[in-house]
Amino acid sequence: MLFDDISCLNYDGVSISLDVTFQFRIDPVYLYDIVVQFKDFDGYKEILYATGQTTVHDTCA
């Protein structure tokens, strides 16, 4: 998953621009529940993207 040109402010108020890429793997224990909940990969990908973006912003601060 690619996050291109994310901007955030650190604790001191300095603007930081980041390019972040990460990989993920579904834990097989939760595979059935994920398939039932999201139906397709696009829905799951939206949640992954939102979670990843929030994580990057939280880490930046």
5-56 pLDDT per residue, tens: 888 888 888 998 989 898 889 999 999 999 899 888 898 999 998 998 888 8
Q: What is the pLDDT of residue 33?
A: 93
Domain for residue 46, yes or no?
yes
Asked whether residue 61 is domain-assigned, the answer is: no
Strands, E assignment, the chain: 2-9, 15-21
Residue 36 is part of which domain span?
A: 2-56
pTM for this model (two decimals): 0.71
If one counts the domains in the chain, the total is 1
Q: Are 3 and 21 in contact (CB under 8 A)?
A: yes
